[in-house]
Amino acid sequence: MKKPSTVDSYIASFPEDVQIRLEQLRSTIRKAVPMAEEVISYGMPGYKYNGMLVWFGGHTHHIGFYPMASGMEAFKKELSAYKHAKGSVQFPNDQKLPLTLIKQMVLFRYSENSEKKKTAVRSQK
């Protein structure tokens, strides 16, 4: 299978029911941080703003969401019901996506990256 070059082609490569879920996630991220650049990174959709914010990926039984270790740590309690690892969480395809939580996580990562940029600018002065 050829690697997708755009987020549209990535999403289109999945069955329709998964496409709907991936589009919900994409829309949630884009509304939360409209100025983020949408990219394909590590073969899946990713969003950049002062560095990488988050990624997501479709799978047979779940949607993977990758908000980095800091994003996982900040929402550890809210994510406890889901299968997760240091930098990722799995949202089962037979459950509704927790879009409000996803939005909060994206905004957290945006805040982290914005602060990182401010710190870098201050250190250059």
Task: Name the nearest CA neighbour of 29 among 16, 11, 15, 13.
Answer: 11
Supply the angle between the helices 99-124 and 16-32 in degrees, to the nearest 10. 40
**According to the model, what pLDDT value does residue 115 have?**
85
Q: Percent of the chain beyond pLDDT 90?
A: 87
Q: What is the value of pTM for the model shown?
A: 0.91
Residue 96 token pair: 């509704």
Report the CATH fold assignment for 7-95.
Answer: Aspartate Aminotransferase, domain 1 (3.90.1150)
Q: Percent of the chain beyond pLDDT 70?
A: 91
pLDDT mean over 36-58? 96
> Is 124 a residue whose pLDDT tops 70?
no
